[in-house]
């Protein structure tokens, strides 16, 4: 297979703030696999919290040059084997593994003339209702964002160390949407039991990652369900997640792609956990891959491409919080012209 790699700086339409970071740009890695006249696309959105960088991902993919040159894929079983064998070269980068895995799913589905959803689940993709995320905001920003989300069915509100109820109350007074609140580990000094009761009174459906993973075993049962994010990186984490968590967030760039994502869905169902597919700031390529796994989860938080002002892929349409599937084969995405021009390539 011929591999082409490139990186691209992407910019959210507004600065995106969570409890530990403020982002005005990210640099994601994009790959193109070609064999037998068919191409497949993949993406990684590296995040420093997980010790991932775009340059590190590029280096890992380059180190697997010989592996790509001999890679042949004819079935889903071949993708699963490739996912496992590639780890010899790509470890410890799950982001690099994600880019490879997604490209292989896209390539094989295009080769067979079907969608990735049909390849993964034996049925065509359905629309996906997704959360739209409101990052940490000033009062003026919050007014603007809530107005933009008028008519959306699901809204996630980011929180910080202060755990203020004001943004939640403001959104609830103006929207009937299903609400979730995500602390990104920031509530380490907060009375969780009290806060959970207060959020429940405001009609919040669940809270996400209240504190750091190091304190997982201390997590009590709360008034509201608790979803793990930073505490659930890999499929092994999903299997071992403490019972106090009611569910977990599957992010393909954390776990390594669609292949482990499917297994995490099976684990979650076996354990009776709620599941959500999440994202970073990502193009429509990685969002489309997430939407494949979201065909089997309770929730989706796949607004990463919608938040961007310069998405380099065309893919699933985003219509007021609903991702509408493409009818094209593969992931249903195509890159903008020139994305891979001048990029490094290896082939057999």
182 marked among binding-site residues: yes
Q: How far from the centroid of its chain's Cα atoms is residue 16's Cα?
A: 16
**Per-residue pLDDT, 21:** 85
CA distance linking residue 332 with residue 226, whole number of Å: 33
Does the model's pTM come out above 0.85? yes
CA distance linking residue 296 with residue 280, whole number of Å: 20
CA distance linking residue 211 with residue 161, whole number of Å: 10
| Domain 2-122+336-346 identical in fold to domain 128-324 | no
* 42 has pLDDT over 70: yes
Tens-digit pLDDT profile for residues 294-345: 999 999 999 999 999 999 999 999 999 999 999 999 999 999 999 998 665 5
Gyration radius from the chain CA atoms: 20
Closest to 325 in 3D by CA, of 107, 125, 153: 125
Angle separating helix axes 54-63 and 76-90, nearest 10 degrees: 110
CA-to-CA separations, 309 to 9, 12, 14, 71, 304, in angstroms, rounded: 11, 5, 8, 35, 11
Q: Which CATH class is domain 128-324?
A: alpha beta
**Per-residue pLDDT, 344:** 57
- Given the candidates 2.60.120.920, 3.30.390.10, 3.30.300.30, 3.40.50.300, the CATH classification of the domain at 2-122+336-346 is 3.30.390.10
* 177 has pLDDT over 70: yes
Query: Mean pLDDT for the chain?
Result: 96
Name the residue ranges covered by the structural domains of the chain. Answer: 2-122+336-346, 128-324
319 marked among binding-site residues: no
> Within 13 A of 60's CA, how many CA atoms are on the CB side?
25
The confidence band for 348, taking pLDDT boundaries of 50, 70 and 90, is: very low
DSSP state of 269: H
Across the range 25-49, mean pLDDT stands at 97
**Per-residue pLDDT, 347:** 39
C-beta of residue 153 within 8 angstroms of C-beta of residue 178: yes
78 marked among binding-site residues: no
Tens-digit pLDDT profile for residues 204-252: 999 999 999 999 999 999 999 999 999 999 999 999 999 999 999 999 9
DSSP state of 229: S
* 80 has pLDDT over 80: yes
Does 156 participate in catalysis according to the annotation? no
CA distance linking residue 41 with residue 133, whole number of Å: 26
The confidence band for 346, taking pLDDT boundaries of 50, 70 and 90, is: very low
Q: What is the DSSP string of 58-108?
A: HHHHHHTHHHHHH----SHHHHHHHHHHHHHHHTT-HHHHHHHHHHHHHHH
Helix then strand count (H, E) for the chain reads: 12, 19
Does 251 participate in catalysis according to the annotation? yes
DSSP state of 213: G
Across the range 257-278, mean pLDDT stands at 98
CA-to-CA separations, 17 to 14, 45, 144, 238, in angstroms, rounded: 9, 17, 15, 27
The continuous run of DSSP H or E covering 155 comes out as strand 154-158
Annotated catalytic residue, options 60, 158, 273, 274: 158
C-beta of residue 95 within 8 angstroms of C-beta of residue 46: yes
Annotated catalytic residue, options 251, 254, 273, 274: 251
């Amino acid at each position: 297979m011929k591999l082409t790699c490139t990186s691209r700086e992407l910019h959210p339409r507004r600065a995106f703030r969570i409890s530990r970071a403020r982002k005005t740009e990210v640099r994601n890695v994009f790959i193109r696999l070609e064999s037998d006249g068919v191409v497949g696309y993949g993406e990684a959105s590296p995040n420093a919290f997980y010790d991932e960088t775009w340059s590190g991902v590029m280096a890992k993919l380059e180190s697997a040059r010989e592996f790509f040159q001999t890679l042949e894929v004819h079935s889903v079983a071949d993708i699963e084997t490739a996912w496992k064998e590639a780890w010899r070269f790509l470890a410890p980068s799950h982001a690099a593994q994600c880019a490879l895995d997604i490209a292989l799913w896209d390539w094989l589905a295009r080769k067979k003339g079907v969608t990735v959803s049909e390849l993964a689940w034996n049925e065509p993709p359905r629309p996906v209702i997704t959360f739209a995320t409101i990052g940490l905001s000033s009062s003026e920003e919050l007014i603007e964002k809530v107005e933009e989300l008028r008519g959306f069915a699901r809204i996630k509100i980011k929180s910080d160390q202060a755990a203020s109820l004001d943004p939640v109350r403001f959104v609830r007074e103006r929207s009937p949407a299903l609400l979730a609140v995500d602390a990104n580990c920031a509530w380490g000094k907060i009375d969780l039991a009290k806060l959970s009761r207060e959020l429940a009174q405001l009609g919040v459906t669940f809270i996400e990652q209240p504190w750091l993973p190091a304190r997982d075993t201390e997590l009590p049962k709360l008034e509201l369900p608790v979803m793990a994010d930073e505490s659930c990186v890999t499929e092994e984490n999903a299997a071992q997640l403490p019972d106090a968590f009611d569910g977990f967030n599957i992010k393909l760039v954390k776990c390594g792609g669609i292949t482990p994502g499917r297994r995490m869905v099976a684990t979650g169902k076996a354990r009776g956990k709620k599941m959500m597919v999440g994202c970073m700031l990502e193009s429509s390529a990685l969002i489309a891959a997430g939407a494949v796994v979201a065909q089997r989860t309770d929730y989706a938080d796949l607004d990463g491409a919608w938040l961007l002002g310069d998405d380099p892929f065309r893919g699933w349409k985003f219509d007021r919080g609903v991702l509408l599937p493409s009818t094209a084969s593969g992931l249903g995405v195509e890159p903008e012209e020139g994305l891979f021009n001048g990029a490094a390539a290896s082939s057999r």
